[in-house]
Amino acid sequence: MTLEILTHDDLAPFRHGFFTRRGGASSGIFAGLNCGQGSSDQSEAVAVNRTRAAEALGLGVQDLIGVHQIHSADVVTVTAPLDRPMRADALVTRTPGLALTVLTADCQPVLFADAEAGVIGAAHAGWRGALSGVLEATVAAMEDLGARRDRIAAVIGPTISQRAYEVGPEFLDAFLAEDDRNDRFFANGEGDRYLFDLPGFGLHRLREAGVGRAEWTRHCTYSDAARFYSYRRSVHLHEADYGRLISAIRL
| Span 144-180, pLDDT tens digits | 999 999 999 999 999 999 999 999 999 999 999 999 9
The CA-atom distances, in angstroms, between 102 and each of 45, 195, 212, 239 are 18, 25, 22, 23
Tally of structural domains, the chain: 1
Residue 43, in any domain of the structure: yes
- Which residue segment(s) compose the domain that 75 sits in? 5-159+214-250
Detail the DSSP E strand segments found in the chain: 5-6, 15-19, 64-65, 75-77, 90-93, 99-104, 108-114, 119-125, 153-156, 166-167, 186-188, 194-196, 213-216, 245-250
* Domain membership flag for residue 48: yes
CATH number where 90 lies: 3.60.140.10
When pLDDT is averaged across residues 228-241 and rounded to a whole number, the result is 97
The answer to whether the predicted template modeling score (pTM) of the entire model surpasses 0.85 is: yes
User: According to the model, what pLDDT value does residue 198 have?
Assistant: 98
Mean pLDDT of 184-213: 97
pLDDT of residue 1: 77
Structural domain includes residue 227: yes
Q: Is residue 187 part of a domain?
A: no
167 found inside a domain: no
Which range is least confidently modeled, 78-87, 127-136, 148-157? 78-87
For residue 26, being part of any structural domain is answered with yes
Inside any domain, residue 198: no
Q: What percent of the chain has pLDDT over 90?
A: 97
pLDDT in tens, 9-59: 999 999 999 999 999 999 999 999 999 999 999 999 999 999 999 999 999
Flag whether 144 is in a domain.
Answer: yes
